[in-house]
Structure 1
Amino acid sequence: MRLLNSFVGLSLLLGWALFAATTGSAAGAGRLINCHEKNRGLVTRTRPDACEGRVVSDAEAASIRQRRQDYVKESLGVNVSPSVLGKRMAGVGAGFFVDDKGTILTNAHIVKGCSTITVSPPGQKSSPARLEEISLALDLALLKTNLRSRRHAVFAPADHRVSGEVAIIGYPSQGSPQQTPILTKGTLPDTGSRPTAARPLPLKVAVRPGNSGGPVLDASGRVIGVVFAAIDTKRVYQQTGQLARDIGMAIPNGISLPFMTRNGIQPTLADSPKASPDLLKEAKRYLARVECWL
């Protein structure tokens, strides 16, 4: 909401400046004109002899101001949706489409208790989403939308042995909510055994707020897990005396696949890995930012 408040504040400031300029004394009102300073993209009310730009009509001045406000809103990456007016953003995470019917898989802790949920696929505006199913025990949730993604995620089989290089894709916070998805590379240690539903996947990767709910991909782009947590480095050090930097945890397919199946979703599986030269480009086709509003 910080970005949204910034835009609203700017709009009020511009509106007040216009009000102040156009409601001066009756004696001075007739001597004011609309002056368009092209280099700055601004329109001000000023005296004719003080104008260093082009004199424009009231209608053109209003159009220029509106274009500037639209530009500021776009630059800030704000999606203003009537469904969230009057609400505050409580959290941001990731999710991804798992079928061609607009179903998104994400973490339960991202959408728990939200009065409104919206989703934003890359390059698209926010759209409302409905909580279809949630499991707090598994930290998984399914959202229903009216969107149709260009592609949905492909999963590795639940018993597939995973190790080596992996990548996570989400919206990691960088001081403010991230608007575009970011790929972060890491590794998954080879434990010498196949993953089980009882054991989460440990990831040697920098997990940040906003990564939760995003997919963990193997080198071929198959989903092998869902990011849900990061190890608390400070707490681990206090308890063990050891530094555990950039350690994340993911929900393995042995948990997420049965969860989807029980709720009527038939996830797409790929037994054999395929070449995927650009993981981020491919993932953008089925990824979405998940936004919780209160």
Structure 2
Amino acid sequence: MKKLVVMLISLILLGCEATPVQNAAQVKTKSKLNANIQLPLDVTAAFYVDKSTPERKINFYGKLEEATELVMKDFFTSSEQLTSSSNFDYLIQLGAVSDWDYVWGGYESDLELVIKNRSGDTVFKRQVQSSASGTGGVYDFNAVYNAFVKSVKELLIEFVNSQERNLVATAAESATPITIKAFFDDMSPAGSGTGFYIDKNGTLVTAAHVVSECILVEVKHKGQTYAANIAKSSELLDLAVLTTDYQNPQSISIRDELEVTLGKPLFATGFPLSNLLSDYPSLTVGNVTSQGGLKGARGSFQFSAPVQPGNSGGAVVDYSGQLLGVVSGSLNQRMMLNSAGTTSQNVNFAIGTSLLAKFLTKGGFSFSASEPAPNFEEASKLAVEYTNQVLCYK
């Protein structure tokens, strides 16, 4: 009997799973598009979904992203999720927080949609309730997705109808687009890492995972912040090249055939735990502890200089100031505890200079070697000059 009750409760909680909408055009809405408007409009649009979650709320931002993408391709000739390289006539910003409806079952979402033109002016703003109540169980997220499709379509119909006379004309204006950051009222970095200059023209290297999925990247150097572009990135190698307008006086020395010998003394500079520590670069020392990377991966090596979140992408340098590699990560302590029953100390990995040199050469980026620094103190002084913090906005 007890098992039967448990099964019945489980079935009630699961409910009947909804079928996800495949075609936004088939979704019926109360609002109707004006008869003389033909879709898709000759307008380019990008969209951004807020991923922040207020306390005791639920954020189905992944479902909202999917729903928005489905609807927008019917409305605009060109539409995409906002990235650092997006070029658009209109930016559509969305956010939704959800709660469980204990009376009818299903989720109720407070949805806000804001549309700005390329000059950053708000041309449309609405807040509505997107309801999936009574349509499914606790784990029926398709019902939430379907509700988002319907709500976003309703709001875009209202926007297009209200802007019918000047929508395309406004988009065609030659207004100079502002920076992506200026489209947001209160935007703060979602993460940070470290980079280092490879020339004196503002070109720097960092780890690819530091700038992955960023809609905006900035570089902070000696208290000054500069906009950065992702010029080249490889998730396979975990390397990325950024360019800025900053003319830096000092760059790192790169010798592509430099040998990484076991036990070689080294140091790493970077910006670990930037939300807790100072915004001045820190330095830790250690040695090469293995000439192979994780599971013996070639082109990488293991080192013992302590690193923390925020060090990724930083330079690993020998005591004469020559680059040995780029910080890529550390062993996950929780994973080690679960799999081996113990934790590891200072087991860190770097991508070797030989792989970096090939990556830069293939991308057409120049680098050079300089004379070795006379001692550790001089090498560390130079490191402060070419090391910078990389800020990622999502």
Give the TM bin, normalised by the shorter chain: 0.5 to 0.7
Q: Tell me the CA shift for residue 130 of structure 1.
A: 0.8
User: In the alignment, what sits opposite 1:161?
Assistant: 260
Alignment of 1:148 with 2:247, yes or no, is yes
Q: Tell me the CA shift for residue 182 of structure 1.
A: 0.2
User: In the alignment, what sits opposite 1:285?
Assistant: 385
When normalised by structure 1's length, the TM-score is: 0.65
User: In the alignment, what sits opposite 1:251?
Assistant: 351
Q: Tell me the CA shift for residue 269 of structure 1.
A: 2.5
The answer to whether the 8 Å contact 1:182/1:280 transfers is no
Q: Counterparts of 1:1-294 in structure 2 under 5 Å?
A: 85-122=185-222, 124-162=223-261, 163-173=263-273, 176=276, 178-189=278-289, 198-269=298-369, 274-294=374-394
Distance 2:297 2:362 in 1: 15
Q: Tell me the CA shift for residue 216 of structure 1.
A: 0.1
Q: Return the letter of the residue paired with 1:267.
A: F
1:90-139 Cα shifts (integer Å, max 9, x gaps): 111100110122111001111111111111112x3111011111111111
Q: Return the letter of the residue paired with 1:119.
A: V
Q: Tell me the CA shift for residue 274 of structure 1.
A: 4.3
Q: Tell me the CA shift for residue 207 of structure 1.
A: 1.4
The answer to whether the 8 Å contact 2:320/2:372 transfers is no
1:165-210 Cα shifts (integer Å, max 9, x gaps): 1110000106536411000111112659xxx982421011211001
Distance 2:184 2:268 in 1: 29
User: In the alignment, what sits opposite 2:96?
Assistant: none
What's the secondary structure of 1:239's corresponding residue?
helix
Q: CA RMSD in A?
A: 2.5
Q: Tell me the CA shift for residue 221 of structure 1.
A: 1.3
Query: Mind listing any 5+ residue stretches in structure 2 that lack a counterpart?
Result: 1-180
Q: Return the letter of the residue paired with 2:301.
A: L
The answer to whether the 8 Å contact 1:119/1:289 transfers is yes
TM-aligned CA distance change 1:144 to 1:85, over 3 Å: farther
TM-aligned CA distance change 1:199 to 1:241, over 3 Å: farther
What's the secondary structure of 1:235's corresponding residue?
helix
Distance 1:198 1:83 in 2: 43
Distance 2:253 2:315 in 1: 10
Paired residues, number: 210
The answer to whether the 8 Å contact 1:84/1:293 transfers is no
Q: Tell me the CA shift for residue 222 of structure 1.
A: 1.0
Distance 2:254 2:183 in 1: 33
What's the secondary structure of 1:255's corresponding residue?
helix
TM-aligned CA distance change 1:273 to 1:126, over 3 Å: closer
TM-aligned CA distance change 1:84 to 1:290, over 3 Å: farther
Distance 1:272 1:285 in 2: 16
Distance 1:256 1:197 in 2: 15
Q: Return the letter of the residue paired with 1:154.
A: S
More relative contact order in 1 or in 2 (CA 8 Å, sep 6+)? Answer: 1
Query: Mind listing any 5+ residue stretches in structure 1 that lack a counterpart?
Result: 1-80
Identity of aligned residues (%): 26
What's the secondary structure of 1:269's corresponding residue?
coil
Larger mean Cα displacement after TM superposition, 213-222 or 229-238 = 229-238
The answer to whether the 8 Å contact 1:217/1:224 transfers is yes
Distance 1:159 1:143 in 2: 24
The answer to whether the 8 Å contact 1:197/1:254 transfers is no
Q: Return the letter of the residue paired with 2:227.
A: P
Distance 1:164 1:289 in 2: 26
1:267-292 Cα shifts (integer Å, max 9, x gaps): 21358674342433211111111001
Q: Return the letter of the residue paired with 2:384.
A: K
Larger Rg belongs to: 2
The answer to whether the 8 Å contact 2:192/2:274 transfers is no
1:7-56 Cα shifts (integer Å, max 9, x gaps): xxxxxxxxxxxxxxxxxxxxxxxxxxxxxxxxxxxxxxxxxxxxxxxxxx
When normalised by structure 2's length, the TM-score is: 0.49
What's the secondary structure of 1:268's corresponding residue?
coil
The answer to whether the 8 Å contact 2:301/2:351 transfers is yes
